[in-house]
Amino acid sequence: MTMRRIHARHAVIDGARRLGTLGLNKGTAGNLSVRVDEDTLLITPSGIPAESLRPQDIVLMDFEGEWRGEKKPSSEWRFHLDILAGRPDVGAVVHTHAPYCTVLACLDKPIPPFHYMVAVAGGSDIRVAPYATFGTEELSRNALVALEGRKACLLSHHGMIATGPDLPGAIKLAVEVEELAQQYVRILQLGTPALLAEDEMDRVLEKFKTYGANAQTA
């Protein structure tokens, strides 16, 4: 096992535990993956709580769906593999059952441009992928469509997916999407919000191309 893969395994464990600390996942809910190189990925195993994970539990898979290791991969390995295989801009995928995202997903409610920060997910809204049974190719296909031109989406009656160039970026986006979902749910309790116009969201998306540049280069 190369040092790069050893470090990546520890990073996956740290990421899984951080999702729990942040309240985005509980117990064995959710999963995450990272791209290792051009044809392999590491993914969390099926049915093991984050706090119990060991480096050897993290599953190495290739983009043909073959895996090796002591444990079986997450039941959601299919959409992790398909996203990483089809999106060279994505280096990590996070799937959570974050509470407010899941509330909206169970209502099949996308997150509209009620706030300019919706653009952080790559577009003028955050879509809901149609429902399909967990772990199926159909769910993966639905998620890929919902992620076209986007960095995150909700999964109907399920949860959410966030992507990033690396694992910290994907986790950061998951946190931001859950915050937006919480705000939107609370707003809906008071009424229907006015939405930002498409041309304004286009301006925000353009500005987001350099958003945080100082922090990244510091």
Residues 35 and 191 sit within 8 Å (Cβ to Cβ): no
Q: What positions carry a catalytic annotation?
A: 76
